[in-house]
Chains A and B, each alone.
Chain A
Amino acid sequence: MIEVENLTYVYPGASAPAVSDVSFTVERGRIFGLLGPSGAGKSTTQRVLTRQNRRFRGSVSVLSRRVESWDHTFYEHIGVGFELPNHYLRLTGRENLEFFASLYAGPTRAAGELLEAVGLGDAADERVSEYSKGMKMRLNFVRAILHDPEVLFLDEPTARYGQRRVRVEYVSDAGAVKTADFALDRLAQNREFLELLDARPIRSIHSREASLNRVFADVTGVRLVEGAAG
C-alpha cells in the first residue's frame, strides 16, 4: 500500500535535509504511526506521501503507484487530516463539508451524518469561527474521511488530547515487566518514550481506559473492525 525507500527531502534554501534516507513499508489494513522528536521530519514525510512536497529523492509509492505518477485523482483515494484546523471560518461546519464534498468526483458521505458522528450535529449550522479548537479538529477529521478514502493520513491526531496519558509496559534489562506513563499528546516528541521503543521489547501500550485501538477510535471517531488494526 505504501512503500518508501531511501526518502530524502531538502526544503528549498535549506542546508540540511528535513528527512534523510528514510525507508518503511505499510501494508493495507494497518495503522502506522510515525514517531519522532520535534523537527524529525514526520510532517514532511507525510507531505511527501500526500504529494504536497514533490522535490524529494528516493522512491515513494502509495496505493502501489509512485506518487509522482499520480495526477489530481490521487486525492480521490486518500484523505488528509492536518495538524491544525484549517477551515473557512465564515462558513458553517455543514457548508465547509458540503463544499469539500462537492470537489470529489466519487460518492461522498452526508455532511449531517458525519457531523452527528463526531458530536457536531448541534453545531452543524454555526459558523466555524464560533467553534472551539476541539470542534475544529473533529471537523478536520470528518473532512478527511468525507469520500471514504482508501488511505487516511493524520498529522498529530492525538494533539487535542491534552494531558491524557498512556501506560507503556516493557521488559527491563533484568527481564522484569515495568511500566512507564507518558502524555498522549507528547508521545511523538518524547525522547524517553522513543528510546524505549528503540531499545526494549514493548509488551503493550495502553491508554488509561483501553487499548490503542480504543485510543484511535476515541481520537478519530472511527470504530475499527476487529483485526484491522496493526
Chain B
Amino acid sequence: MRTFARLLRLELRLQSRSFLYPATVVSTAIICGFILMLPARPLPVRLTAFFVFMDPATIGLSFVGAMVLMEKSQGTLAALAVASVTPAAYVAGKMASLTFVTIASSLVVVYVATDGVIDVASQLAAVTLCSAVAVLIGLVCVAHARSMNQLVVTLLFVTTVLDVALLAHFSVLPGWLVPAVALIPSYAMLVSLAAAVDAGSVSAAARIAAALNLVLWILIGWRWTIREFERAIVTERR
C-alpha cells in the first residue's frame, strides 16, 4: 500500500510535468464546446454517453500508451524493478492516477450535456469501471510496443474493434448481431455510462450485465497486464 501511494504521487507529478492536465482541459473544453453547439438541450442520453465514452477511450488508451512508452525508452521500468516495485503496484498506480483525470473530465462533460442534472455517485461508479478497463487495454497494447509507430498501429486496430460497439449503441447494427458485440468491453462501457446519465434509459438487467462484463474485463485485463509487464518489460529482456 505504501509503495502504491508513492507511485501514485509520482504518477501525478509526472503527468503534471508531461502536460497531461492542460491537454485534458483542452480536450474536455473542445468536447464541451461541441456539445454546446448542438441544438438539442439537454443532450439525448445515448449521445451524452458517447461523449463521456470518448474520455476514457482517449485518456485510457492513448495517454497511458504514450506515457509508458516514454518510460520504457528512458529505462525507468528496470530501475523500478530493482527497487522492490512489483508490476501490480505499478499498474495500480497508473490506473488510479488516470482514473482521477477521467472522472474529473467526465463530470464536466456530463454536467454540460445534461444542463447540470447529474447523479454524481452513478457517474463515479460508471466512469471508474470504464477508465479501469481502458487503462488496462492501453497497458496491454504498450507492453510489447517498441516504438511509437508500433503503438499507434496497435491502438488503431484496438480502437477500431472497440468502436464497433458504437454501431450497436446507436442502433445501427441488426438486432441479431448485438449479443456478439455486447461481449466487447466498449459496449458495456456505453451501457454503463448511459445508465449513469439516466437510470431509466437502461433496464436493470442490462445495467447489471454491463457492470459484470466490465468487472470481468478488469479481472482478465489485470491478470493479462501483470503477466505482460513481467514478461516483456521487467524480466527476460536482453
A interface residues, Cβ below 8 angstroms from B: 11-12, 18, 44, 50, 52-55, 72-73, 75-76, 78, 80, 82, 84-91, 95, 99-100, 102-105, 143
B10 and A99 within 8 A (CB): yes
16 additional A-B residue pairs with CB within 8 Å, beyond A85-B75, A89-B74: A11-B236, A18-B238, A52-B234, A52-B235, A53-B235, A55-B236, A72-B84, A72-B86, A76-B84, A82-B79, A84-B75, A86-B76, A86-B78, A90-B17, A91-B17, A104-B84
| Residues on the B chain within 8 Å of A52, using CB | 78, 81-82, 234-235
B83 and A103 within 8 A (CB): yes
Q: How many residues of B contact A (CB 8 A)?
A: 24
Interface class of chain A by DSSP: loop
| Residues on the B chain within 8 Å of A18, using CB | 238
- Chain B's closest residue to A88 (CB) is B76
Q: Please, how many angstroms separate the alpha-carbon atoms of A192 and B32 in the complex?
A: 69
CB distance from B174 to the nearest CB of A (A): 44
CB distance from A140 to the nearest CB of B (A): 9
A82 and B76 within 8 A (CB): no
A90 and B14 within 8 A (CB): yes
| Residues on the B chain within 8 Å of A99, using CB | 6, 10
Q: Please, how many angstroms separate the alpha-carbon atoms of A82 and B10 in the complex?
A: 21
B74 and A88 within 8 A (CB): yes
Would you list which residues of chain B between 62 and 102 have a CB under 8 Å from chain A? 74-76, 78-86
Q: Please, how many angstroms separate the alpha-carbon atoms of A143 and B236 in the complex?
A: 23
CB distance from B183 to the nearest CB of A (A): 31
Given known A-B contacts A52-B78, A82-B78, A82-B79, A11 and B84 have beta carbons under 8 A apart:
no
B147 within 8 Å of A (CB atoms): no
Q: Please, how many angstroms separate the alpha-carbon atoms of A90 and B2 in the complex?
A: 23
Tell which of A76, A103, A105 has the most Cβ of chain B within 10 Å.
Answer: A103
